[in-house]
Amino acid sequence: MSRVLLVDDDANVRDALSAVLDGAGHDVTTARDGAEAVRLMPVAHPQVIVSDVMMPTMDGPDMVRTIRSMPAFQRVPVILMSALVTTPSVPVAAMLRKPFPPGKLLELLDRFDDMRKQVPHGEDESARSAGSCRAHIRRGIELADAQEKRVYRLQRLGFDTRLAEDLHNSLKGSVAALVQFRQTCECRGPIRW
């Protein structure tokens, strides 16, 4: 079974899908929007992301772009869901049109599980991921710094920067979570993702 990060701003959809996934044996972490999902990535370390397309603060495609910029999560399959959007604006593993039978989502997750099991013996998810924890922290700091500069430029031009500031705070939260994770795990030996 998979570690699934489920992202949807509709609490009813989120709760229903979470119950279905949990009932099928998946380990589910939920997020209300893309910004929260980005913050949770280093903690949840999902094997699959299931996300709505249209959400406040950060929509699904923007979340995918942000996650793809994080080296540890570049290969995590993403399934987008939408009642309106039929063609995703970012490359994803699958697109589901809402409403869909929960069995369809479970079939997709089973397929991803099967693909993961076909990885050669001895080569696990952490060994395939490039770089060390320090490299991920450095990259997170670079992304947060770049976003802070964008916020400053937008403020100087008189734009409403609330969403850009939320993303900046999410990036800072991700870095903090990585640092905490690294400190927690240092006693267990070198960390390779």
CA–CA distances in Å: residue 133 to residues 18, 42, 185: 30, 10, 10
Tokens, residue 41: 């990535």
> What pLDDT is recorded for position 86?
80
Q: Nearest CA to 68 among 85, 86, 93?
A: 93
pLDDT at 146: 82
Per the CB < 8 A criterion, the answer to whether 83 and 53 are in contact is no
Q: Note the pLDDT of residue 119.
A: 56
Helix (H, G, I), strand (E, B) or coil at 57: coil
Helices assigned H by DSSP within 24-120: 34-44, 60-68, 102-117
The per-residue pLDDT for 175 is 76
Q: What pLDDT does residue 46 have?
A: 94
User: Which residue ranges in the chain fall short of pLDDT 70?
Assistant: 118-136, 181-193
Report residue 38: phi and psi, to 5°: -60, -40
**How far apart are the C-alpha atoms of 49 and 80, rounded to whole Å?**
8
Please provide the distance, in angstroms rounded to a whole number, between the alpha carbons at the two ends of the chain.
Answer: 20
Q: pTM, whole model, 2 decimals?
A: 0.63
Tell me the per-residue pLDDT of 100-130, one tens digit each, with 9 for 90 and over: 888 899 999 988 887 777 655 444 444 333 3
